[in-house]
Chains A and B, each alone.
Chain A
Amino acid sequence: MSPFSLRVMSLQFVLAILCCGFQTTVWPNLFGSIQMPQFWLPWILFLSLHRPYFEALFMSYFFALIMLSFTSLSLQMIWPTFLVLVSAAAFAKNKFFWPGLRYFIPATGLCCLLWNVTLVGLSSTFEKSSAPLLPITRVLEALLTTLASPLIYGALIRLEKLRPVDSAKATVREVSA
């Protein structure tokens, strides 16, 4: 990996941390107890769709370590859920994929639902006090995350264009199509 790619990757991580910070601090301060969208989730989806499988997976594992600083949810739940999430996104990408927001927006909604379903499933299997179902909250969260996804997508596409041509050739071509 070139130092330039590494720099872009670092910028993407900074963006992910800012998303988490915004979600946990600014959102509750301005909107009170209104359900918050998962601003980091489109980032994971973007990686899964625009990066090789293993690169996306290991980046998501590293991101899980960052997420620990923002929540009490354990790594025990986050890593397996990310494995399922990134694998499902890579599988879906191989079956049907077209670049752009028209794919990314509904994919974010599905990804958010899959995150919640996997988390509840794994939690009820492996944890003593399992995650509550909270169906309305989780559906509302998926809807809000879907609505917020174009913003994150726009920022990530701008960052992706900074990558060297040889490594980001495919992505940029897909995006500009």
Chain B
Amino acid sequence: MNRFHLNLRKVLAYGFAIFFPLLSLNMQHTPFDSGWFNQPLQWAAAGVQQAFYLFSEGVRGTTSEYVNLLNIKSEISHLQEENQQLRARLSVLDDVQKENQRLNALLDFRSRTKMELVAARVISRDLFSDHSTIRINKGKHHGLQAGQAVISTEGALGYVFRPEAFSSMVLLITDRYAVVDGIVVRSRARGIVEGKSAGACALRYVEKSEDVKAGDLVVTSGLDNIFPKGFPVATVEAVESRSYSVSLRVDLRPVVDPNKVEEVFVLLNAANEDLTERFSMTQNSPPYPPEVETR
């Protein structure tokens, strides 16, 4: 019986069309959310990205070889050709040397720390420009879990938020859903480091009375149980005290450029390591007051 002469199928279709967005708006969202319905899709996405990574590595290699070949052909004299070849080789060697230095730094970092680390390579980036996530080539199979810190030799990068079997998604500290507990090295002012956009973040909830200046180093406080204590996060870029706000507005620049990082470490076990001493030496800041140092 349809007393109102309604097209019930159409009403149902419109109902469902609006129901899903409304349902999603009412859902509590956390970056660690991963429903059962997403598992096969995430598996497929990880597979596609790994395949594309291998493909693009191949294309990059072939393209550079092709470019080198074109350069050689364009030279007229034999000496110029040889010179060009030597230059090309030198450039390759420079790249190899840079990579060696980078890998040596990674090895050195690994050998000097008590922390249990897993090295990983970045294979892909986020779909949207206003979000900062990366996918790394290590997953649950290598002991990774959600909430583990991801770092480089220079500083904190983010944390694992969607581990798959052989790859994991990492939420970088510049993503607007990311939060890390931070502390200013010079004045010990506390705050929460929140991502703003690709390449920038901010220190929030810093009291107005706190002493924060441009150039100050912000390190992890270790309270979030993700990062070890004293690991560099960002440097203060600008500080603004607004009359209508109870806290300072502190803009930060991450110590590691998330767009340029290629190799990372995932922290399996921080082993209660305190890195404050090691990294504070790198900044030109006055020594800590004794009472702070003994904290």
Contact = CB atoms under 8 A, between A and B. Distances in A.
Given A68-B38, A134-B130, A75 B45 contact: no
Contacts of B13: 54
A106 interface: no
Contact of B41 (A23, A29, A66, A138): A66
B131 A72 contact: yes
Contacts of B244: none
A69 B131 contact: no
Interface in B55-86: 55-57, 59-60, 63
A25 B123 contact: yes
Contact of B27 (A17, A76, A131): A76
B133 A72 contact: yes
A25 B176 contact: no
A164 interface: no
A71 B177 contact: no
Contact of A25 (B41, B124, B128): B124
Contact of B29 (A36, A58, A76): A76
Interface in A51-76: 54, 57-58, 61, 65-76
Interface residues of A, number: 48
Interface residues of B, number: 55
Contacts of B42: 68-69
**Which residue, A69, A82, A134, has most C-beta atoms of chain B within 10 A?**
A69
A115 to B, nearest CB: 10
Interface in B10-45: 13, 16-18, 20-21, 24-25, 27, 29, 31, 33, 37-38, 41-42, 44-45
B247 interface: no
A18 B259 CA distance: 22
B126 A71 contact: yes
Interface of A: 17-18, 20-26, 28-30, 32-33, 35-36, 38, 40, 54, 57-58, 61, 65-76, 78-80, 82-83, 126, 129-132, 134, 137-138, 141
Interface of B: 13, 16-18, 20-21, 24-25, 27, 29, 31, 33, 37-38, 41-42, 44-46, 48-49, 51-53, 55-57, 59-60, 63, 123-133, 135, 161-162, 169, 171, 175-177, 194-197, 259-260
6 contacts: A20-B45, A21-B52, A25-B56, A30-B59, A68-B42, A70-B45
